[in-house]
Amino acid sequence: MESMMIYMPIAMAILGLIYMVIKQSWVMKQDAGDGKMKEISDHIYEGALAFLNAEYRLLSIFVFIVSALLAVVAYFVPTTSYLIVIAFICGAVFSAFAGNIGMKIATKTNVRTTQAARTSLPKALKISFGGGTVMGLGVAGLAVLGLTAFFIIFYKFVFMPDGWTNTDDMTLVLETLAGFSLGAESIALFARVGGGIYTKAADVGADLVGKVEAGIPEDDPRNPATIADNVGDNVGDVAGMGADLFGSYVATVLAAMVLGNYVIKDMGGAITDAFGGIGPILLPMSIAGAGIIISIIGTMLVKIKNNDAKEAQVMGALNIGNWTSIALVAAACYGLVTWMLPETMQMKFFGEGTIEISSMRVFFATLVGLFVGAVISSVTEYYTGLGKKPILNIVQQSSTGAGTNIIAGLATGMISTFPSVLLFAGAIWGSYALAGFYGVALAASAMMATTAMQLAIDAFGPISDNAGGIAEMSEQEPIVRERTDILDSVGNTTAATGKGFAIASAALTSLALFAAYVTFTGIDGINIFKAPVLAMLFVGGMVPVVFSALAMNAVGKAAMEMVEEVRRQFRDIPGIMEGTGKPEYDKCVAISTKASLKEMMLPGLLTIGFPLVIAFVPMIFGMKHLAIAEMLGGYMAGVTVSGVLWAIFQNNAGGAWDNAKKSFEAGVEINGEMTFKGSDAHKAAVTGDTVGDPFKDTSGPSMNILIKLTCLIGLVIAPILGGHADTGVSNIEEINIEKEMVVTDNIAEATITYSVIIDGKEVIKEEKFRGSKEDVDAKLKDFEASNNLANEENKKVIKKINVKKG
Amino acid sequence: MESMMIYMPIAMAILGLIYMVIKQSWVMKQDAGDGKMKEISDHIYEGALAFLNAEYRLLSIFVFIVSALLAVVAYFVPTTSYLIVIAFICGAVFSAFAGNIGMKIATKTNVRTTQAARTSLPKALKISFGGGTVMGLGVAGLAVLGLTAFFIIFYKFVFMPDGWTNTDDMTLVLETLAGFSLGAESIALFARVGGGIYTKAADVGADLVGKVEAGIPEDDPRNPATIADNVGDNVGDVAGMGADLFGSYVATVLAAMVLGNYVIKDMGGAITDAFGGIGPILLPMSIAGAGIIISIIGTMLVKIKNNDAKEAQVMGALNIGNWTSIALVAAACYGLVTWMLPETMQMKFFGEGTIEISSMRVFFATLVGLFVGAVISSVTEYYTGLGKKPILNIVQQSSTGAGTNIIAGLATGMISTFPSVLLFAGAIWGSYALAGFYGVALAASAMMATTAMQLAIDAFGPISDNAGGIAEMSEQEPIVRERTDILDSVGNTTAATGKGFAIASAALTSLALFAAYVTFTGIDGINIFKAPVLAMLFVGGMVPVVFSALAMNAVGKAAMEMVEEVRRQFRDIPGIMEGTGKPEYDKCVAISTKASLKEMMLPGLLTIGFPLVIAFVPMIFGMKHLAIAEMLGGYMAGVTVSGVLWAIFQNNAGGAWDNAKKSFEAGVEINGEMTFKGSDAHKAAVTGDTVGDPFKDTSGPSMNILIKLTCLIGLVIAPILGGHADTGVSNIEEINIEKEMVVTDNIAEATITYSVIIDGKEVIKEEKFRGSKEDVDAKLKDFEASNNLANEENKKVIKKINVKKG
């Protein structure tokens, strides 16, 4: 049983994918409605496909370039493997495929939901949530399948065919596996950032000309941009969110595996357990595997019976599924942790030495993760939820104009960082105190275990939104729109809380990657009292701010192109306003597609370029690799801290403005008077929403990708910066070190003579250091670290130390 | 000569103050105009005094509480001195006095400028700039006088009456001197944050009811809030900016002195030079002293001759003065550095050991500082200047409504962080590479040397603004307003660049303080790979965001009170709109005064409370002092990085919106059409300016205080966290240490037996450590560090080390 555990996650992933296929065919079998509805749905489907195809073309080029770069690195750096290229390509392909599944099912489910809504709300929920489930299981299943399959291949067949050797070899396995994660996250960059630009460009373009200039309602089929707008919902909220969480999922599990390997290292380089000595490495994979099955159970619980149900019941049904899966994950974590980990472990803590950690403490760390995942959603809901104090305040401030509405919205987003950051900081501290960075990574893994469920809840929103759009465009009876509106309204809430979950996952994932990075490079830590490291912390802090600005500007530019195209069609196509002329939907889709992919180049370049410049430019100038590694670590920390802040700020400000505007639909009380749509206060709120749109749908969610991709790039570069690359040799058999130190007064002098036996040949080297006793000590330590001698466990090391008092 | 150098800065400061008094009496002798003008000016003067008095009352309470706290600390922590209380109180009083001088002269100069503008523009410039000069020299003179006087007292009379003893005693001198800096920065909190709330509450209140509701022009005497508005210009831009730079000036010099002491420590604990062995400590003071005289020369060069001069000539005159003083500071730095520093110094660099640094490298570091001060102003001007690309873009985006105007403004502010942060990061790295953190601190000192000149340029703006207001209110001929408008327009540019200078000074000051903090606590560095440190980095990053939101909300609340009072007066005072009834100006002044001081409490509490909680709560739970010190360092770094980003973002976004709105006054071309005030685009731009007002005048500039005060509080707490406090004894005469270490396989065991002779009595203690060799080594090191044994230079230390291989 135990020895087969390595195949458990892959089996669960396949089970999940089988369930997905069954669910998919069930959804596809549902009635897709009559001619007009089907026609609109087909337009959306084709528009989505057009975007995907354009994206894939661009992606192929990108994947080709990065693969070539990785191959070059693998050629020059002996500690890296060519296989990282294969892993990278597969990571990209798997993530793209998962996005493809999600987009296709979402654009097929929307019309079926509309059709179901003509007769039954419970049926409509079942179908729309079924579509979400397909999406969720596709993402989670493929993520776990790909990651675990590659791990088995690398571990069992490439690097350790004869079973466990040592932690260094396992590091190679995991370094190579990082390619898969990098591939996945690269797709996320395209999907999330490109998708975010797409959806808002189409939305703003459709609104500005359609609603404002031509005075036709939202989702009106006469508006040429309306299909692009509906495609955008799928591109941004379905494919973008899916790729984001796919990336988080893979990266979190990978980081936890890296840190699991480090636990084994701390315990002397090898442990004996029933899992082939890799229990701590298998654990996060197993939690992910269990999470898939748990998510399936969770999705099965989501249903309502009453055809007259309101938002509260629908929300309640989702909550039952969600909370049940969180509780089941906690139970699974308890079982897996106590079963798979040694009862006590030794872990090294900086400045505190080695501490005995019981497996129960690791379990508590996973509870911390589940807690954060649950609480962050409540925090998000408080700051962005209808009827809550912050929203009422923004509504109130709208009465004195757009200016005060904007200030109130900005302030709400800014203040919302307070509980969120305290929560994250507490989680970092708590899970670290419980079980070191392994604890932090497992907290993230536990939180991510419900990814499939989260995505199902999340994707059902845009599907319902689309269903409502189709109902409107195909001129259904009002009851249909009412039913889809109930689903859509719940979807808006889950969209906001889903964003909270995505931020939390990105934050914890980045921290876990950050910890993995430090262990990969072999540096002691990241000391921000070194000025270059501090400088990079500043630079890192700046990047999310500039990235956000670029993303916002990109929306503006793309929207302008859309506006002009819509204006042109209104002008040039005869009878378009009377409904006799047919708008050229595909032209608008093409504009959004092209513009979004073009405009994401600059922010993408910023994300990928900065870490590369920081790593390689100082290298050209001969800076020490370990010093560079520390600088890059400072940069990563800067990006993460600032990125998390700006993500929370932008998402919550945007969500708050959105719901402040929506509050006017039902009417709000301002200074004792009921105020409705069309009032001056409502106009001010609409202005706020215009600002909030790119905040919450483009620049805000992009932060997740920025911070994860930054840390992943760091992780992939890590072996190049790591100590073992410095020696330039990979096959040291024996090292003999003689240290002699003479201390006189304040001055110490040390001579190191060392011989290294590489492939049977002996090489003798000598190094001298002079300075104060402390400095020489520091230099000696540095020398050992930079030659990877300090932690040499598997090679024969002979050291002689003479200290003479002069 | 050399031995008298310690008195040079104080002499220069007194010279500066004498010049200030002369200039002041010259300004006061100028014609203050006729009845109506004088009456208005008196109202402003009295309003300003009312604010100052209210502020002082609140301040007394605050100073009393903090003094009591400091006294308690001094009682319990033997390494701190009671004298810090005196230094703190004097720092607060000096800063408050400098603010008082500035406010008084500014409110007296305004009317004289108006009077002069009736006949001559050159005369008007001479008077308004004369007022600014008084302000600048008052601030710089008192800062240098106070700091150097206390240094001389502590050094010469208290801690080292018989000349240089050792760097530990000098650390005591400087730790006590930090009280002066803390006092000064506390006043800055009140002046900058309270002032920022005051000025915007009055401004928004006056505009919303006066301009928008009642339809009367700006600065109309019928508006009850107009006096408060004009007082606000002085409170925020004069007193606030003055206190901000006073604080920066003192803190920078202090930090450089701390790091100078550290240089001496690195060179073996004592150096021999002509300056009593404290050359590196005296240098920053001497640069500050020289800066005062240089600023006087600079201000003398600011004049125009042509009565028909335009903005360009006025700006040119200011530039001549400014650039000359920068050049002279560079020359002075060359002279002082080469004269006062040893030709070569040894400085410790983390991870690189001790490096020989020539004094020329220190000079180059000062050039880096001057470069940053000059370039940051250009960067600021590019992003906020009339006619520049970013402003034209915002103007363009105003044509599609307030929403796009806001997005464009936000994006401009965000993108402006790119060059600014790269500049700062480059400066940190560059000056550190040249001469370690001493270089960073001296770069800041050199930049701050022109403070008096910068303040003169800065304060002349609000004086001219006020002069214009008085011209309007007293119904002067249009030519008078035209002339003051020329000065005001230049003043707007210098206000923006002045803000850039203030941010740069705050950033460099904080870094220098941060470095001083590390040396005070005796920690190795700040390792963000330790989770608690990383958690605090997150928390620190969040604080500026929440602080900004609180400050923005405070403006909103205070403005609402003002709006209601103005409405009440318009309603209740008969004949007010016809000019026959007299508005109750003092009521509005009282509201602004009260509200601003009340609303600054919460952000103030946040600033002061967080570092105290981080330092003392873990202490209660028994956490190690050095671990806490590292956490607090992480918090400080988080606040600094995030604070600098938010300062740049908010100041530049606010400045950009302001000038985008102003662009409409002269007319702008949008899509080929000239557009003016009153257009829809202009209305959108006004909305942007409403958002920008608290950004640029309240929350943005407050960031400077937040980051400096945070680092200063850290510095004052440092001795409590520092190693020497841990032993609980202050009078160790002799320490005998016997270390024995037995190493078997992977396990090492160390026994430390040590006896400490305190006041003649011997105390014997024993400690055991067990674990891997590395861990035991780390623990031993930690033990030595936490008992301050590693750096014990002046006490007799006997160590025996036995390493047995088991």
DSSP-assigned letters across all residues of B59-110? HHHHHHHHHHHHHHHHHH-TTS-THHHHHHHHHHHHHHHHHHHHHHHHHHHH
How far is it, in rounded angstroms, from Cα B374 to Cα B392?
A: 24
Residue B517 has pLDDT above 60, yes or no: yes
* More confident site: B354 or A481: A481
Residue A166 has pLDDT above 70, yes or no: yes
How far is it, in rounded angstroms, from Cα B193 to Cα B701?
A: 8
Please list every residue in chain A whose beta carbon sits closer than 8 Å to the beta carbon of residue B650.
none
How far is it, in rounded angstroms, from Cα A355 to Cα B622?
A: 18
- Encoded tokens for A387: 């009827």
Residue A56 has pLDDT above 80, yes or no: yes
How far is it, in rounded angstroms, from Cα B446 to Cα B333?
A: 7
Mean pLDDT on A184-196: 88
Determine the pLDDT at residue B763. 57
Determine the pLDDT at residue A730. 37
Mean pLDDT on B299-328: 92
Per-residue exposure over A236-275, b if at least 16 CB sit within 10 Å of its own CB, e if not: bbbbbbbbbbbbbbbbbbbbbbbbbbbbbbbbebebebeb
Determine the pLDDT at residue B725. 36
How far is it, in rounded angstroms, from Cα A288 to Cα B558?
A: 52
**Residue A782 pLDDT grade (very low, low, confident, very high; cuts 50, 70, 90):** low
Of B422, B550, B769, the CB nearest to A539: B422
The size of chain B, in residues, is 806
* Single-letter code of the amino acid located at A679: S
Q: Poorest-confidence range of A198-202, A727-731, B340-344, B748-752?
A: A727-731
B201 φ, ψ (degrees, to nearest 5): -60, -45
How does pLDDT run across B336-364, given as a tens digit for each residue? 999 999 998 988 776 667 788 899 999 99
How does pLDDT run across A428-469, given as a tens digit for each residue? 999 999 999 999 999 999 999 999 999 999 888 889 988 988
Helix (H) or strand (E) holding B218: none
Contact A400 B440 (CB under 8 A): no
**Residue A802 pLDDT grade (very low, low, confident, very high; cuts 50, 70, 90):** low
| Cα within 13 Å of Cα(A384), Cβ side | 33
* Single-letter code of the amino acid located at A148: T
Determine the pLDDT at residue B804. 52
Residue A728 has pLDDT above 50, yes or no: no
* More confident site: A756 or B423: B423
| Cα within 13 Å of Cα(A268), Cβ side | 11
Residue B147 distance to chain A (closest CA, Å): 27
Determine the pLDDT at residue A269. 82
Residue B521 distance to chain A (closest CA, Å): 13
Residue B730 has pLDDT above 60, yes or no: no
**Residue A136 pLDDT grade (very low, low, confident, very high; cuts 50, 70, 90):** very high
Residue B728 has pLDDT above 70, yes or no: no
Residue A406 has pLDDT above 80, yes or no: yes
Of B404, B414, B541, the CB nearest to A645: B541
Residue A224 distance to chain B (closest CA, Å): 20
Question: Among residues B245, B329, B284, B286, which one has the least CA distance to residue B442?
Answer: B284
Residue B55 distance to chain A (closest CA, Å): 26
Residue % of chain A over a pLDDT of 90: 47
Measured in whole angstroms, the distance separating CA B126 from the mean position of its chain's CA atoms is 28
Query: Between chain A and chain B, how many beta carbons pairs sit less than 8 Å apart?
Result: 257
Where does A449-583 have alpha helices with state H? 451-473, 478-521, 531-572
Q: What crossing angle do the helices spanning B167-188 and B35-76 adopt, rounded to 10°?
A: 140
Contact B539 A425 (CB under 8 A): yes
How far is it, in rounded angstroms, from Cα A566 to Cα B627?
A: 61
Which one-letter DSSP state was computed for residue B669?
Answer: E
Contact A353 B778 (CB under 8 A): yes
Q: Are B658 and B689 in contact (CB under 8 A)?
A: yes
Determine the pLDDT at residue B660. 93
How far is it, in rounded angstroms, from Cα A698 to Cα A201?
A: 10
Helix (H) or strand (E) holding A668: strand A668-670
Please list every residue in chain B whose beta carbon sits closer than 8 Å to the beta carbon of residue A421.
538-539, 541-542
Q: Are A188 and A502 in contact (CB under 8 A)?
A: no
How does pLDDT run across A509-539, given as a tens digit for each residue? 898 888 889 888 878 789 898 889 999 999 9
Interface probe with A: pick from B545, B623, B686, B770, most Cβ of A within 10 Å: B545
**Residue B702 pLDDT grade (very low, low, confident, very high; cuts 50, 70, 90):** very high
Contact B414 A769 (CB under 8 A): no
Determine the pLDDT at residue A765. 58
Question: Among residues B639, B789, B785, which one has the least CA distance to residue B706?
Answer: B639
How far is it, in rounded angstroms, from Cα B611 to Cα B631?
A: 10
Mean pLDDT on B93-122: 92
**Residue B794 pLDDT grade (very low, low, confident, very high; cuts 50, 70, 90):** very low
Determine the pLDDT at residue B724. 44
Per-residue exposure over B235-250, b if at least 16 CB sit within 10 Å of its own CB, e if not: bbbbbbbbbbbbbbbb
How far is it, in rounded angstroms, from Cα B413 to Cα A416?
A: 21
Of A528, A532, A546, the CB nearest to B528: A528
Contact B351 A644 (CB under 8 A): no
Q: Poorest-confidence range of A103-112, A350-359, A540-549, B648-657?
A: A350-359
Please list every residue in chain B whose beta carbon sits closer than 8 Å to the beta carbon of residue A402.
402-403, 406, 687
Measured in whole angstroms, the distance separating CA A465 from the mean position of its chain's CA atoms is 24
Q: Poorest-confidence range of A378-387, A414-423, B751-760?
A: B751-760
How far is it, in rounded angstroms, from Cα A247 to Cα A239?
A: 12
Residue % of chain B over a pLDDT of 90: 47
Mean pLDDT on A389-417: 93
B33 φ, ψ (degrees, to nearest 5): 80, -170
Interface probe with B: pick from A397, A528, A605, A649, most Cβ of B within 10 Å: A528
What is chain B's mean pLDDT, rounded? 87
Please list every residue in chain B whose beta carbon sits closer than 8 Å to the beta carbon of residue A528.
525-528, 633-634, 637
Residue B654 has pLDDT above 80, yes or no: yes
How far is it, in rounded angstroms, from Cα A406 to Cα A403?
A: 5
Determine the pLDDT at residue A768. 60
Dmax (CA) for chain A in angstroms is: 101
Residue A794 has pLDDT above 60, yes or no: no
Strand order in the sheet with B796-805: B761-772, B747-758, B732-744, B796-805
How far is it, in rounded angstroms, from Cα A322 to Cα B526?
A: 40
Residue A219 has pLDDT above 70, yes or no: yes
Q: Are A295 and A451 in contact (CB under 8 A)?
A: yes
Contact A403 B687 (CB under 8 A): yes
Determine the pLDDT at residue B741. 67
Residue showing tokens 């009682």: B75
Per-residue exposure over A743-757, b if at least 16 CB sit within 10 Å of its own CB, e if not: beeeebbbebebebb
**Residue A753 pLDDT grade (very low, low, confident, very high; cuts 50, 70, 90):** low
Computed on alpha carbons and rounded to an integer, the radius of gyration of chain A in Å comes to 28
C-alpha angle B635-B639-B643 in degrees, rounded to nearest 5: 175
- Encoded tokens for B33: 């105009």
- Encoded tokens for A609: 């370029």
Mean pLDDT on A490-501: 84
- Write the DSSP string, B425-453: HHHHHHHHHHHHHHHHHHHHHHHHTTHHH
Nearest CA in chain A to B555: A407
Query: Strand, coil or helix: what is A787?
Result: coil
How far is it, in rounded angstroms, from Cα A777 to Cα A796?
A: 23
Computed on alpha carbons and rounded to an integer, the radius of gyration of chain B in Å comes to 28
Interface probe with A: pick from B383, B434, B527, most Cβ of A within 10 Å: B527
Residue A601 distance to chain B (closest CA, Å): 16
Determine the pLDDT at residue A634. 95
How does pLDDT run across A250-259, given as a tens digit for each residue? 999 999 999 9
How far is it, in rounded angstroms, from Cα A447 to Cα A493?
A: 20
**Residue B793 pLDDT grade (very low, low, confident, very high; cuts 50, 70, 90):** very low
Q: Are A391 and A385 in contact (CB under 8 A)?
A: yes
* More confident site: B596 or A371: A371
Mean pLDDT on B20-27: 96
- Does the CA dihedral A138-A139-A142-A148 come out positive or negative? negative
Please list every residue in chain B whose beta carbon sits closer than 8 Å to the beta carbon of residue A545.
414, 417, 645, 649
Contact A407 B691 (CB under 8 A): yes
How does pLDDT run across A222-251, given as a tens digit for each residue? 888 888 888 888 888 888 889 999 999 999
Mean pLDDT on A689-704: 92
How does pLDDT run across B531-578, given as a tens digit for each residue? 899 999 999 999 999 999 999 999 888 888 888 888 889 889 888 888
Q: Are A689 and B404 in contact (CB under 8 A)?
A: no
Question: In B491-572, where do the E strands start and end?
Answer: none
B406 φ, ψ (degrees, to nearest 5): -65, -45
Query: Strand, coil or helix: what is A751?
Result: strand
Where does B301-358 have alpha helices with state H? 311-340
Mean pLDDT on B30-48: 87
Of A518, A537, A688, the CB nearest to B641: A537
Nearest CA in chain A to B514: A529
Contact B526 A527 (CB under 8 A): yes
Which one-letter DSSP state was computed for residue A690?
Answer: H
- Encoded tokens for B548: 């900004």
Residue A411 has pLDDT above 70, yes or no: yes
Interface probe with B: pick from A271, A428, A538, A547, most Cβ of B within 10 Å: A538
**Residue A162 pLDDT grade (very low, low, confident, very high; cuts 50, 70, 90):** confident
Mean pLDDT on A648-663: 93
Interface probe with A: pick from B508, B528, B606, most Cβ of A within 10 Å: B528
Residue A422 distance to chain B (closest CA, Å): 6
**Residue B727 pLDDT grade (very low, low, confident, very high; cuts 50, 70, 90):** very low
How does pLDDT run across B134-179, given as a tens digit for each residue? 999 999 999 999 999 999 999 998 888 888 888 888 988 999 999 9
Determine the pLDDT at residue B735. 61
Nearest CA in chain A to B537: A641
Of B406, B433, B549, the CB nearest to A414: B549
Q: Are B55 and B149 in contact (CB under 8 A)?
A: no
Residue showing tokens 């690799």: A625
Mean pLDDT on B698-710: 93
Query: Strand, coil or helix: what is B44?
Result: helix
Mean pLDDT on A378-398: 91
Per-residue exposure over B259-294, b if at least 16 CB sit within 10 Å of its own CB, e if not: bbbbbbbbbebebebebbbbbbbbbbbbbbbbbbbb
Q: Are B196 and B611 in contact (CB under 8 A)?
A: no
How does pLDDT run across B382-432, given as a tens digit for each residue? 999 888 999 999 999 998 889 889 999 999 999 999 999 999 999 999 999
Measured CA distances, A277 to A3, A264, B281, B300 (Å): 10, 9, 59, 79
Q: Where are the domains of chain B?
A: 2-726, 732-805
Q: Are B780 and A362 in contact (CB under 8 A)?
A: no
Q: Are A336 and A449 in contact (CB under 8 A)?
A: no
Mean pLDDT on B622-650: 93
Measured CA distances, A578 to A96, A208, A212, A225 (Å): 41, 19, 18, 16
